[in-house]
């Protein structure tokens, strides 16, 4: 039987997961105008220890958004077909910006938990020293 995870370990798992999510969001924003680019998403999975949930999270596999790519009319584009259309990107910048704010706030909340746990441990050590 293993010991339960500390608040610091739980906060670290949340920060790692949100940093992966932010990396995918930044890739999506950077490729919003790339023809044929599909939006990347990541879902979190609860970590298990011998079949029991630990409370920690980990990023799951990266998935591509399967929505249809928009057809953009530009006969002068090098990737345009005979009718003058090419496949655009399915990245919606408004959604990506909202997701980035949510991920940033979640990261900050986990960071606060980490800092509070560290301060509590330090205070406990100060009390023990007296």
Buried b (16+ CB within 10 A) or exposed e, 15-52: bbbbebbbebbeebeebeeebebbbbebebeeeeeeee
The model's pLDDT over 69-126, given as tens digits with 9 standing for 90+, comes to 999 999 999 999 999 999 999 999 999 999 999 999 999 999 999 899 888 888 888 8
Residue 1 clears pLDDT 50, i.e. is over it:
no
- Could you read off the pLDDT of 6-53 as tens digits, one per residue? 888 889 999 999 999 999 999 999 999 999 999 999 999 998 888 888
**Domain boundaries of the chain, sorted by first residue:** 7-129
Q: How many CB atoms lie within 10 A of CB 3?
A: 6
- What pTM value is reported for the model? 0.83
């Amino acid at each position: 039987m293993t010991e339960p995870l500390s608040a610091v370990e739980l906060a670290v798992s949340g920060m790692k997961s949100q940093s992966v999510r932010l990396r995918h969001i930044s890739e999506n924003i950077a490729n919003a105008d790339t023809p044929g680019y599909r939006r990347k998403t990541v879902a979190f999975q609860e970590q298990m220890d011998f079949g029991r949930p630990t409370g920690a999270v980990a990023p799951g596999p990266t998935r591509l958004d399967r929505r249809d790519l928009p057809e953009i009319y530009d006969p002068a584009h090098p990737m345009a077909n005979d009718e003058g259309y090419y496949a655009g990107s399915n990245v919606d910048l408004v959604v990506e910006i909202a997701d980035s704010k949510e991920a940033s706030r979640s990261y900050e909340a986990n960071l606060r938990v980490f800092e509070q746990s560290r301060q509590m441990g330090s205070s406990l050590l100060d009390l023990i020293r007296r």
